Structure 1
Amino acid sequence: MVRVPLTAEELERGQRLGELLRSARGETSMVQVALDAGISVETLRKIETGRIATPAFFTITAVARVLDISLDDIAAALDPDAVSPDRAPRRAS
């Protein structure tokens, strides 16, 4: 199966996702977050640097859980127009 190249928009969104997760990680080590999320450090590194621009949903779900950020907040940060204005961002519980 041939993989379709990513668009410039998808690549840019991947960069924003990586920056968001890196910022949310703060001083917590990449090793600790990856371990807690059940993913490899290399996968987390690639996501944070935008080298994996379209990571799997469950991978992002696991990282978001560890970083205590909601998927709604991630969606709002990546595409503010896609989130309805009547929903305030909230922390994951």
Structure 2
Amino acid sequence: MVRLPLTAAELERGQLLGALLRRARTDRSMFDVAMAANISPETLRKIETGRVATPAFSTIAAISSVLGLSLDEVWSAINPDTQESEEDSALTLRLERLAS
């Protein structure tokens, strides 16, 4: 399967996601957070630096859980111009509950 090139918006969201996760990690080591999220430190490093701009949902859910971030917070941080409808908010809440 051929993967299409990422759009500028996807690359920007990847950068925003990486910055958010770096800030949320504070003084915790990348290794400790990665192990707690059950991912490799290299994967976390690539996400934090924006080299993996569109990581899997389960990966983001695991990292967010370890860092104490809600999926709503993550979504809002990487989509600052998006206004969610009530239906979207309800879906996000259901997904967040499933991830925890």
Distance 1:27 1:84, change over 3 A: farther
Secondary structure of residue in 1 paired with 2:14 = helix
Distance in 1, matches of 2:6 and 2:23, equals 24
Distance in 2, matches of 1:39 and 1:18, equals 15
The structure whose residues are more often helix, as a share, is: 2
Cα deviations across residues 4-55 of structure 1 (Å, max 9, x unaligned)? 0000110011000000000000000000000000000000000000000000
Secondary structure of residue in 2 paired with 1:36 = helix
Instruction: Assess if the C-alpha contact under 8 Å between 1:61 and 1:71 holds in 2.
Output: yes
Point out where structure 1 has 5 or more consecutive residues left out of the alignment: none
Distance in 1, matches of 2:43 and 2:31, equals 11
Q: Does 1:6 align with 2:6?
A: yes
Where in structure 2 are the equivalents of 1:1-93 lying within 5 Å? 1-80=1-80, 81-83=82-84
Cα distance, 1:84 vs. partner?
5.1
Cα distance, 1:82 vs. partner?
3.6
Distance in 2, matches of 1:64 and 1:14, equals 15
Cα deviations across residues 45-89 of structure 1 (Å, max 9, x unaligned)? 00000000000000000000000000000001111324359x7xx
Taking only aligned residues, the RMSD between alpha carbons, in angstroms, comes to: 1.8
Point out where structure 2 has 5 or more consecutive residues left out of the alignment: 90-96
Q: Which runs of 4+ in 1 moved over 2 A?
A: 82-85
Distance in 1, matches of 2:41 and 2:30, equals 7
> Percent identity of the aligned residues?
61
**TM-score, reference length from structure 1:** 0.88
